Structure 1
């Protein structure tokens, strides 16, 4: 080895203290001792990259003999240690101000075990600073802890990747001692890395997992049957503050000889499970009110039914009552105040339901404004008291989002008896009761009776048959005369009749509501318009057409928005009939959407079609809307006419209606006149026109034509 001392005489060191003698003989002896008897693994490489010296320890760390290395260039070997050594030498050569660089490198010795060469590569320079070679001084160790630490920390790029990972990553040895941990894992468990490295990973596990960890690892090492290792699964972790939380843990292993390193990847499942729990909740609960959905309601109630019946199928004491709740005309609340007020009103309504009904009541939201509640009651009387109290509370004023709101509520109820064993049976009865109360105008309570089932069956049958009534030509029109104070026919009202081929005549009071509920009233009304105009054209040709022929228009048809257009189409071939056509609409239809009603009636008036308010007095009877509607007649409801002049109150009401109409410039028509006394009273109070059995029952077109023809004054008289 070419060692050239810079000074051959003894002298002082740089700090002024004593230093080793620079005598060549002394230095040669020292170098020989270091090379041959030192505890370090040494290697010397000249400036050309040729190995000039290596001891047994360095060669053994590479699983080679010294003779395999000495005199040979490092570039000729494919070995990770020699490649790392050559790269470090190149780095020192490029940096003249650097005398030495550390080098750590993993290797496998002749015994097949992993080892770590950890040391320094030093530049050997002459007095002028020229590089003569490089000396590597290394410590050889096979300590597993040192190897694990090296494996985890040797690559700063890998460490950076681990810290960038969203999931927590832990590297541990065979005994569970944590050798490395990334930042995500520290954040996940609430520790600093210094608090975890070197500690057993069981500190991150709650009981019983922490207690069983070592046993699971021992079992795996002996049998290769994994509990978690190599098999990802959901389990629990424990934070520094003691919080237990759900995690997904997957563990991999790396074997180097007999040593094993485990790498665990940990993902926090708290947010995912919370989202799944929220989704599961929303699948079973209404997001606005928090009560059950219909499906969840049926499931829970069916389970409750099964648990409350004994083996013989009877009741085990007490009864179930099902309340079906429907807010009448709830759309009016949304339109008047906005959806936010409507939503607030529904939430307040549900709160009141929970206050009134027993604590174990199951509540659900079936539709936007329809709810159901299953409650445990002592008897039928208890159920009736609850229903009445419920109706009173829910129809009381509600303060919703800075607005006072009053709801109209229909309540249909059914109480369990020995013949009811399923929720579906009880629900069907409650729905029938709800339909019954809504048929009667709503905003009331109705309990199921057996007659309701027969009525529902009848309505369903009528709906099915009414669908085909037009094509089977089962519908026809009859006409009832409307007379003046002298008894002369001035106009007529067209009335619809249905004569079923099997059922026979069906009353309009029965099939008209069915048609309105089913939506069949729209095509039926269109048929009425077509048939009546055709009949009017025939009467006109015969010279017996009354001044006006009034047709009843349903609220659905009136508010659809295309009534005027349809009438223009039908009257296009008979323009002269416009001044002979009149339409009757009910108070309820007129005020349901007053803006649409005013617009539609105005359009009809421009066509020359006259409009009348039918059944005046049975609904709102308010001047506030009558004066806004462009109508020509008010028809006083038969309920006020039937007992005049005997009933003073009805006498006063009729007088008031006639006086109001006259003040507004409207013609009055009294319906249901059956006696001469009624006629005389109506004439005395100034009623303009009258209609009823006294003057003629609804009759066929030919009969009305004959009636009109018979009252003509003969020519020349």
Structure 2
């Protein structure tokens, strides 16, 4: 259709001159002219028929008063021209229903009729009507305002293309996604949004589809790549649907930027295999990678034994690292300092161990590392360096921290064929070093397996010891400097029906590790108080009966509440009951220790520090604790008075304890010479085989009766 403004302006002038019987345009064109006031001055029969009226009905009337899509489209175009004095024409497209129930599209334009000075005289509308299905389909998919609104409201990018891959419509979100302005992509090939390799594949696909009419991706969503206007390539998810409007085939592509999703998936995959704090592998990922390494090693070994540069064989060593009492760091400085210390620890491990070492975080404060070593001596040197480096001061978040580290290690030998074998041996070595106090290095030996089996068996049987009535208490007398029995210490014994007597030094650590120490301690408390009640009734109750309390029960259990409950029926026993706690347990959590000991003192229960000198050996801690007695460890008593250094230590401990108002008790006294020395330095009380071995309750009662009997002249 002619769109030249000059031609249309002259046409408008001729129409006005011709009056109401004006000219008509051939070929089904519809013509209308509106004056500057919006009144219709000319309408041919095609235009009038579109509005279901005669030309005479329209002349002199404003079209704005007619409820019809064509009139509305013209009114919008005129208003648009009125807002832009420099714009000479506006395209018009609208769809309307025909009388036979079909659809028709009117397309064309409205031209501003202006004089030489630029003043608007009127507006000329020139439209073409079509009922072609393809043209209607194009209008529906590309120009219908309702559909455009829906497309622009979508969050995802939406592209409508024809059979040849030409973009016919695109929503605002898609333009923004690919970095284009509105309308910039319409009419271009879809390949402009694809990286070159994908663009070539798309062209081949279109060619194949045109030849065979067999689509390959219709109805299928897939992840692919898109390319922005600036050349940036990014991941997208593309879904393609097919629609047919009349004879026309249209494709609708829905595009979503999946950069964030892929980043989240990659992060999730990373976190599934890596510790989020330290970045090392998780236990599961560690086992997978180590098993793969072992499998490759077995394949190499089957061909030829691997050799290092010096010609020596290459073996695997597994190091199991556990930070002792790491909770103390968190409690003292805060978790942020503990986290910083762990990250610094991992950094030091990677600096020390050979390249290619696989490292993982097994638990909160436990790590494992698999390294290649030349031999067992090489592994021992590495373990020693690791321990030295990790126990050196660490500057963590503005705090200096010193860690205690237990290292259990195992080196591959002919008995090790899998990672599981090596890991089990390293764990046994770690358990062994922890049983001996920790903060050291220990390598696996065959004896450890037997010891582990023994501990497992003891744990199983100890769980039933109370029900089977296999536990008993014996009492060892505590005497003053004159040799008179003043107190007694209750000692736990276990007589297994099949294993026989089991040493407390063996089963007490097992009970603490397994948590059985809690019910066992409760049994000891109730049994000892019941025995004290019987002694009181018989008149043979010592001044004090001391019970040993584990650090776990003392710091974490409801000790004060349980003792108050047991003593409710025997209030007179409160002044006769004493508790012994180890120095290490007392200072492990000083705040809790002071509070608990204060609560016990309010009940009348006396507390003593057991094995003084074997742990922190600092009276600066002891002076903060509300205790009445210090028990000097047997290790300092065993070789007095022959050992001058121990003599000095015992003398100093007694003097400082007396300076703090504390009573001293020496353990492990076995000879008269030891007794005489202790009396000479002012030790208040003594305990040991010289005065009596641990005995049954009746034997202690007999000793007290004999002591109370008058001496016959």
* TM-score normalized by the length of structure 2: 0.84
User: In the TM superposition, what whole-angstrom CA distance separates every residue of 1:490-533 from its partner, at most 9, and x where no partner exists?
Assistant: 22111111100000000111011111111111111111122122
Is the 8 Å Cα contact of residues 551 and 584 (structure 1) preserved in structure 2?
A: yes
* Aligned residue number for residue 456 of structure 1: 452
SS of aligned partner of 1:196: coil
* Aligned residue number for residue 638 of structure 2: 642
Once the two structures are superposed, the pairs formed by residues 471-550 of structure 1 within 5 Å of their partners are 471-550=467-546
Instruction: Say if 2:326 is the partner of 1:330.
Output: yes
Residues in 1 aligned to 2:73 and 2:553: alpha-carbon distance in whole angstroms: 94
Match among 696, 704, 708 for residue 704 of structure 2: 708
Residues in 1 aligned to 2:590 and 2:16: alpha-carbon distance in whole angstroms: 118
SS of aligned partner of 1:197: coil
Residues in 1 aligned to 2:394 and 2:365: alpha-carbon distance in whole angstroms: 15
Compared CA separation, residues 181 and 207, structure 1 to 2 (3 A):
same
CA drift at 1:667: 1.7
Is the 8 Å Cα contact of residues 32 and 44 (structure 2) preserved in structure 1?
A: yes
* Aligned residue number for residue 190 of structure 2: 201
CA drift at 1:268: 0.8
Once the two structures are superposed, the pairs formed by residues 554-593 of structure 1 within 5 Å of their partners are 554-560=550-556, 562-593=558-589
Compared CA separation, residues 175 and 687, structure 1 to 2 (3 A):
same
Match among 170, 195, 217 for residue 206 of structure 2: 217
CA drift at 1:273: 0.8
Is the 8 Å Cα contact of residues 93 and 105 (structure 2) preserved in structure 1?
A: no
Compared CA separation, residues 539 and 139, structure 1 to 2 (3 A):
closer
RMSD value, Cα? 4.0
Compared CA separation, residues 113 and 556, structure 1 to 2 (3 A):
closer
Residues in 1 aligned to 2:696 and 2:112: alpha-carbon distance in whole angstroms: 126
Structure 1 window deviating more from structure 2 (275-284 vs 137-146): it is 137-146
CA drift at 1:626: 1.4
Residues in 2 aligned to 1:617 and 1:636: alpha-carbon distance in whole angstroms: 7
Residues in 2 aligned to 1:88 and 1:700: alpha-carbon distance in whole angstroms: 112
Match among 288, 297, 300 for residue 308 of structure 1: 297
Match among 350, 354, 357 for residue 358 of structure 1: 354
* Aligned residue number for residue 77 of structure 1: none
Instruction: Say if 2:285 is the partner of 1:289.
Output: no
Is the 8 Å Cα contact of residues 294 and 366 (structure 1) preserved in structure 2?
A: yes
Is the 8 Å Cα contact of residues 594 and 624 (structure 2) preserved in structure 1?
A: yes
Once the two structures are superposed, the pairs formed by residues 235-384 of structure 1 within 5 Å of their partners are 235-310=224-299, 316-317=305-306, 318-384=314-380
Residues in 1 aligned to 2:637 and 2:124: alpha-carbon distance in whole angstroms: 127
* TM-score normalized by the length of structure 1: 0.83
Is the 8 Å Cα contact of residues 274 and 282 (structure 2) preserved in structure 1?
A: yes
Compared CA separation, residues 212 and 579, structure 1 to 2 (3 A):
closer
CA drift at 1:196: 2.6
CA drift at 1:21: 12
Residues in 2 aligned to 1:315 and 1:600: alpha-carbon distance in whole angstroms: 65
Residues in 1 aligned to 2:355 and 2:240: alpha-carbon distance in whole angstroms: 49
* Aligned residue number for residue 696 of structure 1: 692
Compared CA separation, residues 258 and 695, structure 1 to 2 (3 A):
same
Residues in 2 aligned to 1:229 and 1:542: alpha-carbon distance in whole angstroms: 98
CA drift at 1:214: 2.5
Is the 8 Å Cα contact of residues 309 and 315 (structure 1) preserved in structure 2?
A: no
Structure 1 window deviating more from structure 2 (651-660 vs 139-148): it is 139-148
Residues in 2 aligned to 1:176 and 1:251: alpha-carbon distance in whole angstroms: 12
* Aligned residue number for residue 627 of structure 2: 631
Structure 1 window deviating more from structure 2 (154-163 vs 440-449): it is 154-163
Structure 1 window deviating more from structure 2 (357-366 vs 224-233): it is 224-233
User: In the TM superposition, what whole-angstrom CA distance separates every residue of 1:46-66 from its partner, at most 9, and x where no partner exists?
Assistant: xxx9x99757x999xx9xxxx
* Aligned residue number for residue 62 of structure 2: none
Residues in 2 aligned to 1:138 and 1:21: alpha-carbon distance in whole angstroms: 16
Is the 8 Å Cα contact of residues 432 and 452 (structure 1) preserved in structure 2?
A: yes
Compared CA separation, residues 113 and 215, structure 1 to 2 (3 A):
farther
SS of aligned partner of 1:242: coil
CA drift at 1:102: 7.2
Instruction: Say if 2:114 is the partner of 1:118.
Output: no
* Aligned residue number for residue 10 of structure 1: none
Instruction: Say if 2:665 is the partner of 1:675.
Output: no
Residues in 1 aligned to 2:16 and 2:103: alpha-carbon distance in whole angstroms: 42
Match among 14, 26, 30 for residue 38 of structure 1: 26
Q: Which runs of 5+ in 2 are unaligned?
A: 1-8, 34-39, 59-66, 84-88, 114-122, 307-313
Match among 662, 668, 676 for residue 666 of structure 1: 662
Is the 8 Å Cα contact of residues 133 and 246 (structure 2) preserved in structure 1?
A: no
Instruction: Say if 2:163 is the partner of 1:174.
Output: yes
CA drift at 1:469: 0.6
* Aligned residue number for residue 407 of structure 1: 403
